[in-house]
Structure formats: structure tokens, C-alpha cells
Structure 1
Amino acid sequence: MINLVVGAVQRRLLALMIVCYLLAAVAPRPGEALRAMALGPGGPVTAPMILLAVMLSTAGLGIRVRDLRAVVGRPLRLASGVAMNALLPVVLLPVAAMCLRAWPDSAEVECLAVGLLLVLAMPIAGGAASWGQNAGGNVPLVVAMVVGSTLLSPVTVPWGLTVSAALVGPGGAGTLDDTARLDRLAGTAGAGAFALALIVLPSLAGILARAMLGERRAARIAPVVKLVNIVNILLLCYLNASGALGQALSPPDPDFLALAVGVAGAVCCLSFLVGRWMSRWTRCDTPDGISLTFATGMNNTSAAAVLATSWFAHRPQVLVPILAYSLLQKLAASLFGTQPPARPAALS
């Protein structure tokens, strides 16, 4: 019964996320109240942070150590996916910044740039494994890419923020007028600590819990874990969007919304195309190519949204491109999953 429910919800996950966004726009007060709750006097732990940690720990429960061992002997594939995902903000953000220079409202452009920067700096999304599996990809490879990207995130996230902010700051493309907050975020007390505490440790806890449970017990509780994870994802969508969408839509600004959706969609498609190009350049076979495409194209937008609500609460419009990217990423994954790269030759 639970398997049927999980399957039905997974098929409608994109539509349910849209419903959560609409609910956040028209009824944001419950979400705002939950977001305002904080635990711990030294460093407040918010509800979105807890939900993000739960989401990543349940995702870790789905990772089998034997899948990771199967990829150790092919480090080139693994390294190329992790490296390209980490380089995305440096590769794509300056292009987006140059295209946005003609937009008349510099404040809106800065919100777009910061939102896209936070998304592109995040590690590979755990959902890349399920999307890659549905498209016929090499599941152990994409799982290893997710784990590798996650473990390196305390280093790659601050690095991506620092380098990208410099590229699109006053000395670069000129989109960001003030990079001081991003510089503080990239410091040791900001993005690195965030990645370690809310991305790496929960993921490792889930992997360790599966190893301790054993495959039989893990398989037995897998449907319940998936259902909890889906509910957690939808609740996190609502909390991240509550308040932000209401403020961004009051008064309505259709030009900014159209720009945010258009730019987020373009950057999202470019990230998938970069992954596909990498798979052809490295002469991947079809399963490996699919895995590389999804690993490069999918970033952890939930983590980006939680980071945005923590550090850019004074600019709710920063969340708009992140929320748009989260939806469009899944749409792009469904489109790219139907057109796998056709390179029969594989590296030995």
C-alpha cells in the first residue's frame, strides 16, 4: 500500500511542488511562523535547517556502500562529474551576468545573480540518482558522484562563492555592487560550516545507518523512508517559499518573475548541456553519459534555499530564481532523460 502511495506521489511531485508554492503565496503565515522558530542560543537552528538535514539523512539511507566500491576503479568518470559540477558557477554565472547587464533594475539583477550563484555553488542533488536510474544511467556512478560532491562541499561551496562573486563583482561583469555579504558567507563560519553541518554530516549519518541496519532491514523500511522524505521535501518547499513569494508578488512584478524564470531556465538547460558535452568529449558509453549529464545538471536547490533564507532574509527576491530553478531542474531532467547521448565507444 505504501509503495503505491509513494509511486503515485513521486509521479506528481512536480505538480505538488507547484501547489506548495501557490499555498506559500496565498497563505504564508504558518510557514513564516515555523521559519521564525529557532533552537539554540549560540547559533540558531531553524526549521528549514532541520528539514534539510532530515532530507539528506533519508537520502543517505538509500545509498549502498557496495555501489560506491564498484566505481572506485573508474576514477576518471567520477572525478569529471564532481569537478564539472563544482565549476558550474565559474563557467555559467559570468555568462548570465553579461546577459543581465542591460536590465534596468540593478537591485533585481543582483537578486537574480545571488540566487543563481547559491544554486550553482551547491553540490549535486541526491535526486540525480533517481532521475539517472529512470533514464537508464549507471546508478552506482551517479550515486558516487553525489557522495563525492557532497563530501567535498565544505571546500567547493565557499570556493565557488568566492570565485564567482569576484567574476561578477565590480571588477568583473559588474552585476554585483556589494560582495561583502558573499565574502562573509564564503568564510569559515559561513558556507563551509553550513555544508559540513547540514549537508555532509546528515548524509554520512544516513549512509552509516543503512550499513548498520543491513540490506534486508533497510529494504523493509525503504517505502516508509521514501514517504517521509517526500513529505519533508514538500514541507521544505512551502517553508522556503512562504513569505518570499508573498513579498515578491506584493505588489506583483511580472517583469521580474518572467526574467527570473527565463534566466533560471536558461542556466538550468546550459548546465545539462555542459554535462552532455562532457559525456561526449570523454567518450562515455550511454549509461555513463546519462549519469554524467544528470550529475552536472542537477544541484541541491533545497540547500541553496535554506542558505538564502538564513543569509539573505532582507532580500526575499533572492529566493525567486532558486524556487524557479528547483522546478525547472526537474522539468529539464525529464526532457534530457528521453534523449541519452549516443556514444558507443567507452574508455578502457
Structure 2
Amino acid sequence: MGTVQRWLLPLMMVCYLLAAVMPRPGEVLRIVSLRLPGSGGSVTMPMVLLAVMLLTAGLGVRARDLCAVVGRPLRLASGVAVNALLPVVLLPVASMCLRAWPDAAEVECLAVGLLLVLAMPIAGGAASWGQNAGGNVPLVVAMVVGSTLLSPVTVPWGLAVAAALVGPAGVGSLDDTARLDGLAGTAGAGAFTLALIVLPCLAGIIARAMLGERRAARIAPVIKLVNIVNILLLCYINASGALGQALSHPDPDFLVLATSVAGAACCLSFLVGRWISRWTRCDTPDGISLTFATGMNNTSAAAVLAASWFAHRPQVLLPILAYSLLQKLAANMFGTRPPAPPAALS
């Protein structure tokens, strides 16, 4: 598992480079869609890849890992709740810091991109990074699953509340929140998370339970390979929509700003998790799990959602792509320095 994590980051950077110099294949794959009979909607290639990613993530979940934390619901609830509250806490702070930026359109793109990332459920990769850092694996797996299952409720809520906080009646970074309000509606983020995040994840968990541990262990190497290829292809497709245009219409100031703001928000997310783990006096393994669950969000889902609802503003993808890369760098940094054990009460 550690070898996979070490290679994933360089491979993602290669995908970003390919998307920058050869964006056309990714742009073509991004618009490939299949009409759903009986409904006006369609399924795109990124949506299929996202569903496959969550399906393979579900196949990696063992039922006994979930049962192991049933007796400690407060730890589980704290991780899920903190992750859900991130957009409400961090986005207004970021928006206030961006008020001095002269280009209001760029500020809007940054705010929307960060909002989509922070509103997403905990990334499945948090379990792998937490395991490598010595965390409580059953706890972080349960946090990932709990956050995923609640995402049809938490994601629309996070979008609606955060958009109100930074809209015209709040900090004022967003002049028009109509599209975000529509996304927060029942036909937007709720339907998206249910169809492409919750159901594939549940299907994977059920499939593993039906296969049994022996068969699941036998096919695990194939599943991991499929998952890596799927992640990299999705990374390339998502990046091609933003990085190709960034090079054809270069804007170095905005690129630096998007990377800086995404990096700051990412580090703050990890720091919030670490602070809460110390404040609640977690032991070291639980504290590591809480730190990674708070710091890592499903950026792939955010990118697919941005491509679907904000295709007319590809700059929204830039902070999402930057966050995706930087949260893996942050995970590596925080994984090498676990929180200190809580001091004994005097």
C-alpha cells in the first residue's frame, strides 16, 4: 500500500503534464455521453469513472471494520461532522482574504471551486494514508463510509449554507448564487451524490460481503490496479478541461493564486483535524484517523460536479485540481508527524 501511495503522486503529476500539453483527448473523453432512456439526462465518461472509483473503494471495505467502531460512536460522529462543517468554517475565512483581489470573476471561480471541494465527503484515500501513518484503520474506514452515506444530505446543506455566507448578504465574494442554489436543490448535488457516490459504494460493500474474504483477497490486486488506472484517467480528463485553457490563455497570477489558496485551505483542514483530535484527547491512532478524515476530501467528485455544472467557467477546476494534488502532499507531511499522545490528567 505504501508503494502505491508513493507512486500515485508522481503519476498524477504526469497526468497533469499530459493534460497541459495534450488536452484534446481528455476534452473529447470529457464530453462523451450516453443518453439515459426515459429521462432527459445523460451519463458522461467522468461520471462513469467516478462511479467505478467508488465501487472499487466499497470493495475494499470489510464489514468487521465497520462493526469494530460501533461501540465508539462519538469518535465516528466527530470525524463525519467536522468534515461536513468544513465549507461553512473555512470558506468565509478564505473569501474575506480574497476581497482585496482586483478581479471579481477570478475570486468567484476560486470561491466556487473551494466550496465544491470542501463540501465533498471524506476521500477514500484517507484510509490508505491513515493506515500508513499508524492510524486506527477501522475508525477512518467507518468515517469514510459514514461521510459517503450522509453526502446526499451534507453536500447540499454545505453548498447552501456556505453559498449564503459568502454571497451578497454575507462576505460578498459571490455576486450570483443562483447556480449554486440550483445545485444544492434536490435535482442537483443530492441526486449526484446518491447516484454516483452512495450507490456505487454500497454496491461495492455488498459485493465484498457476498464474495467472502477469501475471494475478495484473491481479486484484491486486480481491483487495486483497476482503481489506480481509473483514478489516473479521471485525473487526466478533469485536468484537460482546465490546464489546456490555462496554457492557451495564460494567466500566471490566477494560477499562483489558485494554488496558494487551495494549499492554505488544505493545510487548514488538516490542522483543524489535528487540533480537534488533541482537544478531544484522542489517543495517537484515533487522532491520526481524525486528522486524515478531516483533511482529505473527494476531489474527484468535486471535479466531476464542477465539469457538469460549471463547464462555462473552466477556471473553477483550477483550485480543485490544485487541492487534489496538494492534499496528497499534505497527507504525506502530516503522516510523518503524528500528534503527540494526550497528557495525563492531574
Q: Can you give the 5+ residue segments of structure 1 that lack an aligned partner in the other structure?
A: 1-5
Contact 1:25-1:243 within 8 A present in 2 as well: no
Distance across 2 between alignment mates of 1:204 and 1:339: 33
In structure 1, distance between residues paired with 2:185 and 2:247? 32
Deviations 1:287-345 (A, max 9, x none): 00000000000000000000000000000000000000000000000000111111246
Aligned equivalent of 1:270, options 268, 287, 293: 268
Q: Secondary structure at the match of 1:160?
A: helix
Q: Deviations over 1:153-187 (max 9, x none)?
A: 00000000000000000111110010000000000
Q: Distance in 2 between the 1:344 and 1:215 partners?
A: 36
Residue pair 1:284, 1:346 contacting (<8 A) in 2 also: no
Q: CA deviation at 1:250?
A: 2.2
CA–CA distance in structure 1, aligned partners of residues 266 and 68 of structure 2: 30
Does 35-44 or 310-319 show the bigger shift?
35-44
Equivalence for 1:3:
none
Q: Which residue of 1 aligns with 2:17?
A: 22
C-alpha distance in 2 between matches for 1:8 and 1:136:
16
| 2:109–2:316 Cα contact (<8 Å) kept | yes
The equivalent residue for 2:306 is: 308
For residue 6 of structure 2, what is the amino acid of its counterpart? R
Q: For residue 51 of structure 1, what is the aligned residue in structure 2?
A: 49
Partner of 2:7: 12
Aligned residue among 28, 31, 34 for 2:26: 31
Q: Percent identity?
A: 87
Query: 2 CA distance for matches of 1:198 and 1:345?
Result: 43
1:328 is matched with 326
1:15 alignment partner AA? P
Note if 1:254 corresponds to 2:249. Answer: no
CA contact (8 A) 2:117 2:297 kept: yes
Q: Give the one of 106, 116, 119 matched to 2:117.
A: 119
C-alpha contact 1:31 1:239 (8 A) present in aligned 2: yes
CA contact (8 A) 1:31 1:238 kept: yes
Shift of 1:32: 1.1
1:297 paired with 2:292, answer no
AA at the equivalent of 1:13: L
1:76 to 41, 65, 74: 74
| 1:72-111 paired onto structure 2 within 5 Å | 72-111=70-109
| Alignment counterpart, residue 197 of structure 2, candidates 192, 196, 199 | 199
Q: Which segment drifts farther, 200-209 or 9-18?
A: 9-18
2: CA distance, partners of 1:44 / 1:191: 15
Q: Letter of the aligned partner of 1:156 in structure 2?
A: T
What are the equivalent positions in structure 2 for 1:158-177 lying under 5 Å apart? 158-177=156-175
Alignment check: 8 A CA contact 1:285 1:346 kept: no
Task: Specify whether residues 197 and 345 from structure 1 end up closer, same or farther in structure 2 by C-alpha distance, changes over 3 A only.
Answer: farther
Structure 2 length normalisation: TM-score? Answer: 0.97
Q: Deviations over 1:231-255 (max 9, x none)?
A: 0000000011113211123221110
Structure 2 unaligned spans of 5+: none
Q: Is the Cα contact below 8 Å between 1:285 and 1:345 reproduced in 2?
A: no
Partner of 1:65: 63
TM-score, structure 1 length as denominator?
Answer: 0.96
Paired with 2:114 and 2:124, the residues of 1 have a C-alpha distance of: 19
What secondary structure is seen at the aligned counterpart in 2 of 1:45? strand
Choose the corresponding residue for 1:282, options 276, 280, 283: 280
Size of the aligned set, in residue pairs, is 342
Is 2:187 the partner of 1:189? yes
Report the residue type matching 1:81 in the other structure: G
